[in-house]
Amino acid sequence: MKIEIKNLTKTYSGRFKALDSVNLTITDGMFGLLGPNGAGKSTLIRILVTLMQPTSGQVLLDGKDISGYRKEIRKMVGYLPQDFRFFAKLRSWEFLDYAARLAGMNSKRERGARVDEMLESVGLYEFRNRMANKLSGGMKRRLGIAQALIASPSIIIVDEPTTGLDPEERIRFRNLLSDLGRSETIIILSTHIVGDISSTCNQMALLNEGTLIYHGTPDHLVDQAKGFVWRAEISQEKYDSLKSEVPIISTIPSGGGWEIQFVGDKPAGVEAVKVDPNLEHAYVHYMDNKLEHWNLK
Amino acid sequence: MNLINIWNVATYESKTLFRSWFFRIFAIMALLILFGINMGVFGGHTNARWTFRAIAANLPYINVLFINVAQAIIAVFLASDFLKRDKKLDTTEVIYARPITNGEYVVGKTLGILVLFIGLVLMALAMTLIFNLIRKDVPVVWVAYLYYPLLITIPTLVFILGLSFFMMILFRSQAVTFLVLLGYIGLTLFYFQDKLYGMLDYMAFNLPMVYSDFIGFADSRLILLHRLTYLLLGTGFIFATIRFLNRLPQTGRWNSLNLFGFIGFVSAGLFVGALYFNSYRDVAADREAYLELNNQYVGRHVIDVVSNNLQVEQHGKSLLITSGMQVQNQNSTRFDHALPAQQQVGPLLIGNSPGESIPRRDIKTLFQVDLKHGVEYRVIF
């Protein structure tokens, strides 16, 4: 299965360009969509799940334009929106049952079995009779992913799924998605949290202000930041002057000064050692240095 | 449209609505108030308000009419709240991304509310029936328990739900929708009332709908036309809501049909409304004619009716009524012709000559008694 996004542009109210000629190909596996808030990720996702029409351009699924096959696409997609909450007056199992019915699962027995299975797999079976709005934030997110998966979709799209979750819930959620990524499905994970991508995705895209600025593997993105990540121990006075020159991504108090990590070219007069970059470093490197280089900043 | 999808949406919409405190408090309050009204008017040994009990069908009529007004107001809140709630909680995106059509979604939502409200009306009618059965001097008119929900509740709810949904789509603001619709309801109850022959009274509050055990409704055609008008308009607004729903349609073809549905049903509603208006205008013209006719006889001699023996015989679809009337002239002067006092001027007992049936608007004269020869007049209708 292959999703091809061709010259996709979305303009709101004839002025603001949320997406600007985005070209992208997504194949089976986990695909990470990374970018700061307002980068256009949610707009792209809403177009992919047929909730929004692009101003121009196309999205093709296995060569077919999705705007002409909305019913078929909607049958294939499981979607968890960014700010999703629940019908307050439905129990957890009822909410999943409703989602299953809307997805076309008409057999009551089959549906009941699937609801129980999904509740088990997201660890909510013992809370099946609890009202959905009485669940904790992490549980709600898990219930949200369960409703997205209820009809065994071949395309799963989750928008900012880990926002607001505690670390334990976040790890649990990532693992859940990684398990799904092993099957022949496309999973698109949109997030502004770099850690979500680095631990789960084998392909990724970086969006900024509606423009696609990177498309490839997370490792390749990390490679490009090699030689640009530094660690240094500096005084308070040096720290004050340095923070206006380079993006500092970690600061730990050390003696009378700071142990810092920063991204970019090493400024003159600073004693620093190179550090192996991770995806977070690479992201900062891209967003700061590359955009400046391309006059996009 | 897939009926299963509609049923699925309706099932869960009514379930969430039923569990909301707003609906529960409204339902309990409405039933308690109805219980109080029934106790006061129809319960116990009180002889108060015997006029309500004189016609047995008034029991279900009053109950349905009361709950209908309350429901019509509450439905505005619920209908607009449903769309607002969906938007606020972002739950629409999860539903909208599912393979259901806009039509299935909107019709399912409408049915969900309808089913719940009809359930409430049935509960109110069950309570009424208990009062009816206890009250030995008021027989149960079973058909009235069917007619009133069908004629009052369903058209009212379909209309106000369709209108509320449509207004929400149009204004995209719950506050503006409330303001407009509550204003409209207020005008209907306190200003429009029977203006334009009750044409603007979508709740049928001022429509003459008393059901007699003997002759049924006074004019069932007019009632049907009035209620059908609002049923069709409401259905048209539901089609409009489907057409203009803020969601990409599943298929373009159906979306065009929804536009035709909107135009077609609203046009049909307006046409039927025009029929009602014209028919009622005819009735009003008859009334004017009777008044005018009466006024012509203001100065005539009037004699008292001592007795009036009416004999009614059925001949196929006709009734032959023979009136043996004894009159008495209590005036101080003698005269040959006079009007019987308390003569009801209507289509039934009017005739120019014996055995003649007269179209109402052709009435030229009132029934007069020939005091010299004692003529027996017969009127066939």
Q: What is the pLDDT of residues A10-45, one digit of tens each?
A: 999 878 889 999 999 999 889 999 988 888 998 999
DSSP-derived pairing of the beta strands A257-263 and A229-234:
antiparallel
- Test the B interface: residue of A102, A145, A190 with most B CBs within 10 Å: A102
- Test the A interface: residue of B2, B3, B9, B12 with most A CBs within 10 Å: B12
Helices B3-18 and A92-102: angle between axes, nearest 10 degrees: 160
Q: Which two tokens stand for residue A178?
A: 């990684």
Task: Order the strands of the A248-254 sheet from edge to edge.
Answer: A248-254, A257-263, A229-234, A272-274
For residue A20, give every residue at least 6 positions away whose Cβ sits within 8 Å of its Cβ, in sequence order, or none: A9, A209, A210, A211
Q: Residue B227 half-sphere exposure, CB side, CA atoms within 13 Å? A: 22
pLDDT bracket for residue A142 (50, 70, 90) = confident
Q: How far is B249 from chain A (nearest CA, A)?
A: 8
CA dist A147 and A42 (Å) reads: 19
pTM, rounded to two decimals? 0.81
Q: Are residues B12 and A90, on separate chains, in Cβ contact within 8 Å?
A: yes
CB of B173 less than 8 A from some CB of A? no
Q: Measured between beta carbons, which residues in chain A are less than 8 angstroms from residue B91?
A: 84-87
Q: Measured between beta carbons, which residues in chain B are less than 8 angstroms from residue A42?
A: none
Identify the residue whose tokens are 């505005």. B76
Nearest Cα residue in chain A from B248: A51
Residues B320 and B358: beta-carbon distance below 8 Å: no
Q: Are residues B94 and A106, on separate chains, in Cβ contact within 8 Å?
A: no
> Residue A167: what pLDDT?
82
The strand pairing partners of B161, in sequence order, are: none
B270-273 contacts at long range (C-beta below 8 A, 24 or more positions apart): B270/B229, B270/B233, B272/B225, B272/B228, B272/B229, B272/B232, B273/B199, B273/B225, B273/B229, B273/B233
Identify the residue whose tokens are 């007004």. B69
For residue range B130-144, list pLDDT tens digits in order: 988 888 778 889 999
Which of 80-99 (A) contact B at CB < 8 A? 80-90, 94, 98-99
Residues B214 and B57: beta-carbon distance below 8 Å: no
Least CB–CB distance from A71: residue in B9, B247, B250: B250
- Test the A interface: residue of B15, B82, B93 with most A CBs within 10 Å: B93
**Nearest of B209, B174, B67, B167 to residue B126 by alpha carbon:** B67
Q: Which two tokens stand for residue B226?
A: 């009035």
CA dist B111 and B356 (Å) reads: 53
> Residue A33: what pLDDT?
93
Nearest Cα residue in chain B from A49: B97
Q: Are residues B248 and A90, on separate chains, in Cβ contact within 8 Å?
A: no
Nearest Cα residue in chain A from B92: A84
Q: Are residues A102 and B98, on separate chains, in Cβ contact within 8 Å?
A: yes
> Residue B338: what pLDDT?
63
The CA-CA-CA angle for residues B125, B130, B136, to 5°, reads 125
Helices (H) and strands (E) in chain A, counts: 11, 14
For residue A239, give every residue at least 6 positions away whose Cβ sits within 8 Å of its Cβ, in sequence order, or none: A248, A251, A257, A258, A260
For residue B250, the one-letter residue type is Q
Q: Are residues A106 and B93, on separate chains, in Cβ contact within 8 Å?
A: no
Helix (H) or strand (E) holding A64, with range, is strand A64-65
What is the DSSP-derived secondary structure letter of residue A131? B
On whether ipTM exceeds 0.90, the answer is: no
Q: Measured between beta carbons, which residues in chain A are less than 8 angstroms from residue B9?
A: 102
> Residue A254: what pLDDT?
82
For residue range A166-222, list pLDDT tens digits in order: 788 788 878 877 777 667 789 999 988 888 888 788 899 999 889 998 999 999 989
Q: Are residues A53 and B248, on separate chains, in Cβ contact within 8 Å?
A: yes
Q: Are residues A51 and B248, on separate chains, in Cβ contact within 8 Å?
A: yes
Q: Are residues A90 and B93, on separate chains, in Cβ contact within 8 Å?
A: no
Strand stretches in A87-164, DSSP E: 155-159
For residue B269, give every residue at least 6 positions away whose Cβ sits within 8 Å of its Cβ, in sequence order, or none: B228, B229, B230, B231, B232, B233, B235, B236
> Residue B357: what pLDDT?
43
- Test the A interface: residue of B98, B100, B102, B254 with most A CBs within 10 Å: B98
Q: How far is A154 from chain B (nearest CA, A)?
A: 14
Averaged pLDDT, A254-281: 86
> Residue B74: what pLDDT?
84
CB of B89 less than 8 A from some CB of A? yes
Q: Which two tokens stand for residue A282?
A: 């690479």
**Nearest of A221, A175, A223 to residue A196 by alpha carbon:** A175
Q: Which two tokens stand for residue B293?
A: 């006719």
CB of B68 less than 8 A from some CB of A? no
Least CB–CB distance from B98: residue in A81, A87, A103: A103
CA dist B82 and B80 (Å) reads: 5
For residue A232, the one-letter residue type is A
> Residue B355: what pLDDT?
44
Nearest Cα residue in chain A from B82: A87
For residue A229, the one-letter residue type is V
User: Which ranges constitute the DSSP H helices of B135-251?
Assistant: 142-148, 154-171, 174-187, 220-244
Q: What percent of chain B has pLDDT over 70?
A: 81
Identify the residue whose tokens are 């995209």. B172
Residues A81 and B94: beta-carbon distance below 8 Å: yes
Does residue A141 sit in helix, strand or coil? helix
Q: Which position has the higher pLDDT, B123 or A174?
A: B123
Region of A21 on the Ramachandran plot (φ > 0 left; ψ -120 to 50 alpha; else beta):
left
**Nearest of B275, B281, B278, B273 to residue B199 by alpha carbon:** B273
> Residue A289: what pLDDT?
66
Identify the residue whose tokens are 């009052």. B152
The CA-CA-CA angle for residues A222, A224, A229, to 5°, reads 75
Nearest Cα residue in chain A from B246: A51
Averaged pLDDT, A227-232: 90
Least CB–CB distance from B91: residue in A75, A87, A106: A87
Identify the residue whose tokens are 């039923």. B18
Q: Is the pLDDT of residue B352 over 50?
A: no
Q: Which position has the higher pLDDT, A1 or A177?
A: A1
pLDDT bracket for residue B47 (50, 70, 90) = low
CB of B3 less than 8 A from some CB of A? no
Residues B311 and B322: beta-carbon distance below 8 Å: yes
Q: Is the pLDDT of residue B251 over 70?
A: yes
Q: Are residues A51 and B247, on separate chains, in Cβ contact within 8 Å?
A: yes
The strand pairing partners of A158, in sequence order, are: A80, A189
Q: Which two tokens stand for residue A167?
A: 């670390």
- Test the B interface: residue of A96, A98, A110 with most B CBs within 10 Å: A98
For residue A52, give every residue at least 6 positions away whose Cβ sits within 8 Å of its Cβ, in sequence order, or none: A10, A43, A46, B248
Q: Which two tokens stand for residue A263?
A: 């991204």
Least CB–CB distance from A49: residue in B20, B91, B97: B97
Q: How far is B170 from chain A (nearest CA, A)?
A: 18
Q: Which two tokens stand for residue B63?
A: 């109950």
Q: How far is A188 from chain B (nearest CA, A)?
A: 15
Q: Are residues B20 and A79, on separate chains, in Cβ contact within 8 Å?
A: no
Q: Is the pLDDT of residue A160 over 90?
A: no
Averaged pLDDT, A133-161: 88
- Indicate the range of B108-122, B190-204, B337-351 predicted with least confidence: B337-351
Residues A290 and A249: beta-carbon distance below 8 Å: no
Give the DSSP letter string of B61-129.
HHHHHHHHHHHHHHHHHHHHHHHHHHHHHTHHHHHHTSS--HHHHHHHHHHHHHHHHHHHHHHHHHHHH
